[in-house]
Amino acid sequence: MIVKCVVWDLDNTLLSGVYLESGAQPPPPDPAMVTAAAQLRDRGIIHAIASRNPPEAARYAARVTGLDFAASECGWGRKSEAVRRITADLGLAPDAVAFVDDDLYERAEVSSAVPEVLVLSPEDMAEAVGWPEFSPAVVTAEARRRGEMYAERRRRLAEARAFAGSRDEFLRYCRTRVTIAPAAAADVPRLHELSVRTHQFNTTGEAVPEPALRELIGSPAHQVTIVRLSDRFGDDGVVGGCVVELGPGRAWTVTVLMMSCRAMGRGVIQALLAWLARSAAQAGAATLAVPCLVTPRNVPLRLALATAGFRAAEDSAPGGSGGSPPRDDTAGGSGGSPPRDSTAGGAGESSSAEGSPGEPVALFSRSLTGPPPELPDWVTGAAARGASGGVTEP
Amino acid sequence: MTGGETPDVVGELREILARATGREELLGLSEQTPLFGDGVGLDSLTGTLLLREVHRRFGVDVAGEDLNLDALATLGTLAAFISGRPDGGALS
């Protein structure tokens, strides 16, 4: 499991001394730990603070280390509780988190309360920079900016809390821009990364290998799309993507749909689903189908589908009779319910919706009759392949 | 757990919604107002917060039982869904 976030103790760990015992001159940062943290940041790993100190200590540490901290928990409660809050706040799984503390007691307390967390001493950390857990295979431009983007997110959330108005008004106030465009070869590493890292907004729960993505981008029967997001607080880069299979009988099937949870609540998934329905309708498609794994992890995606007017076929109830068994139709379309890619074959198929055993796939779809859905005004969308006329808006 | 407890469930749900969205005025939400779209404008973020809190307070896993999330049509349908479940309506 790749570590996505390192939670740091401050006293005698990230700082070379004890903050509250140092009088007017707080201790300088620990050079070895700051070097390790900066290396990890450049690999897209974010940082957080859990310290038995007043909140000023976290601000001081951010200033003297030059690092961005996505979350900080300063107080005198248990470190395991601080780690749990940080994990929940950032939407991470505990096994994607490492905790570094010089105090043996604190390390034991976190290990026993949250055993999934990778617990390290500062000495371990200096060495662990070379471990596979801290060495993601792909480091994209988005990954390198991840720490900064969490800091931007904190500023955005603070303004959202103070903002009197609807969510859409806030998105406009933020000058939110969602840009939907065809994927190019240069987007392959980021799309692969999204397929590995996204869970809450992911229809398949499966990694899509880079060769498969390149094949899909070049395939005339597929359309691979990327979604970019930016606003006045910063540029989030590519936050989502999808693969549409342009099937026979004017059927559009979204075989992969994924979005970073960082983009949650910012109108992105709503924009993408509206754009898909609009593009499919303009291309003369008869149906727009989204096979989607039904799992507790991607409930946010099901909420987005419900909001956008998608409905699942009656016979694909979760955990019930008639749910599509996940592994009965992997070999090319002969098996069963969710229509999936049976045209390109081979590696291109790894995008199909195979779940863990016991997790059914439901076939969501949306009617394309009637007027095409409105695109939110923060969206700029390129014309889809086969669509008559662009949907580009200012 | 009979229908008699529904009013309490509705009141709890109004509080949960007001907190999830940060909108005080939802404390006076009618049982017929749609939760999606032009009504409350629930999105994936606020919807997830609502479902999580419903699970915690009432022990009802709406997303696990209702594939299309039809229970989230209105405050009234959600309260009825909760009260109709074996553990539903049991205020903790």
Measured CA distances, A348 to A134, A183, A216 (Å): 29, 15, 6
Q: Are residues A205 and A295 in the same domain?
A: yes
Handedness of CA A292, A297, A298, A303 (dihedral sign): positive
List B residues 49-88 in contact with A (Cβ-Cβ < 8 A): 51, 63-65, 67-69, 72
User: Which of A166, A300, A301 shows the shortest C-beta gap to B41?
Assistant: A166
**Which of B37, B46, B67 faces A294 most closely, judged by CB atoms?**
B67
Whether residue A89 sits in one domain with residue A186: no
Residue B89 lies in a domain: no
Same domain, residue pair A186 and A265: yes
User: For every one of its 394 residues, what pLDDT tens digit does chain A have, with 9 covering 90 and above?
Assistant: 789 999 999 999 999 999 998 878 899 999 999 999 999 999 999 999 999 999 999 999 999 999 999 999 999 999 999 999 999 888 788 889 999 999 999 999 999 999 999 999 999 999 999 998 998 887 888 888 888 888 888 888 888 888 888 888 899 999 999 999 999 999 999 999 999 888 889 999 999 999 999 999 999 999 999 999 999 999 999 999 999 999 887 889 999 999 998 898 899 999 999 999 999 998 889 889 999 999 988 999 999 999 999 999 866 545 443 333 333 333 333 333 333 333 333 333 333 334 455 689 999 999 888 887 888 888 887 766 655 443 433 3
Please tell me the distance from the alpha carbon of residue A71 to that of residue A7, in angstroms, as a whole number. Answer: 9
B interface test, pick of A302, A310, A315, A316 with most B CB neighbours within 10 Å: A302
Domain count within chain A: 2
The CATH number covering residue B9 comes to: 1.10.1200.10
| Residue (of A228, A248, A226, A249) closest to A237 by Cα position | A228
Nearest CB among B64, B65, B69 relative to A306 is that of B69
Q: What CA–CA distance (Å, rounded) separates A384 from A220? A: 12
Q: Do the Cβ atoms of A278 and A368 come closer than 8 Å?
A: no
Residue pair A159/A237 in contact by the 8 Å Cβ criterion: no
**Are the C-beta atoms of A14 and A145 separated by less than 8 Å?**
no
Q: Are A180 and A224 in the same domain?
A: yes
Tell me the C-alpha to C-alpha distance, in Å, between residue A316 and each of A290, A312, A364, A367, B7. 13, 7, 9, 18, 33
Which residue in A has a C-alpha nearest to residue B37's C-alpha? A307
Q: Is B64 among the domain residues?
A: yes
Last residue of a domain, one of A120, A136, A152: A136
A167 contacts chain B (CB < 8 A): yes
| CB within 8 Å: A265 and B22 | no
Q: Are B21 and B43 in contact (CB under 8 A)?
A: no
Instruction: Give phi and psi for A28, each to the nearest 5.
Output: -70, 165
Which residue of chain A is at minimal alpha-carbon distance from B22? A161
Q: Which two tokens stand for residue A188?
A: 């392959």
Does residue A146 fall inside a structural domain? Answer: no
Residue A58's domain spans which residues? 5-136
Residue B91 belongs to a domain:
no
Count of domains observed in chain B: 1
B90 is a domain residue: no
Is the same domain home to A234 and A289? yes
Cβ contact (<8 Å) for B69 and A311? no
**Per the domain annotation, does B13 fall within a domain?**
yes
Give yes or no: residues A100 and A208 share one domain: no
Name beta bridge partners: A48: A7, A71
* Of A118, A136, A154, the domain-final residue: A136
- pLDDT digit string, tens, across residues B5-42: 456 899 999 999 998 887 888 999 999 999 988 788 88
Task: Please check whether residue A274 touches B, CB under 8 A.
Answer: no
* Residue B37 buriedness (CB in 10 A; 0-12 / 13-18 / 19+): exposed
Predicted TM-score (pTM) above 0.80: no
- For A341-378, letters b (16+ CB in 10 Å) and e give bbbbeebbbbbbbbbeeebbbbbbbbebeeeebebbeb
Asked whether residue A273 falls in the same domain as residue A355, the answer is yes
Parent domain of B32: 3-83
CATH number, domain containing residue A319: 3.40.630.30
Residues A256 and A349 in one domain: yes
Whether residue A301 lies within 8 A of chain B, CB to CB, comes out as yes
- The reply to whether A327 touches chain B by the CB within 8 Å rule is no
Q: What is the C-alpha separation between A145 and A193, in angstroms, rounded?
A: 14
**CB nearest to B43's CB, from A265, A317, A319:** A265
Q: Is some CB atom of chain A closer than 8 A to the CB atom of B45?
A: yes
> How far apart are the C-alpha atoms of A169 and A165, rounded to whole Å?
6
| Domain boundary pick from A136, A152, A187 | A136
Label each residue of A167-190 as H, E or C. HHHHHHHCCCEEEEEECCHHHHHH
Regarding whether A227 and A119 lie in a shared domain, the answer is no
A93-96 CB contacts, 8 Å cutoff, 24+ apart: A93/A199, A95/A1, A96/A1, A96/A2, A96/A3, A96/A4, A96/A5
Does A109 share its domain with A167?
no
Report the complex ipTM.
0.88
- Asked if A312's CB is within 8 angstroms of B44's CB, the reply is no
Residue of A nearest to B47 (CA): A303
For residues A232 and A326, membership in a common domain is answered with yes
Tell me if A151 is assigned to some domain: no
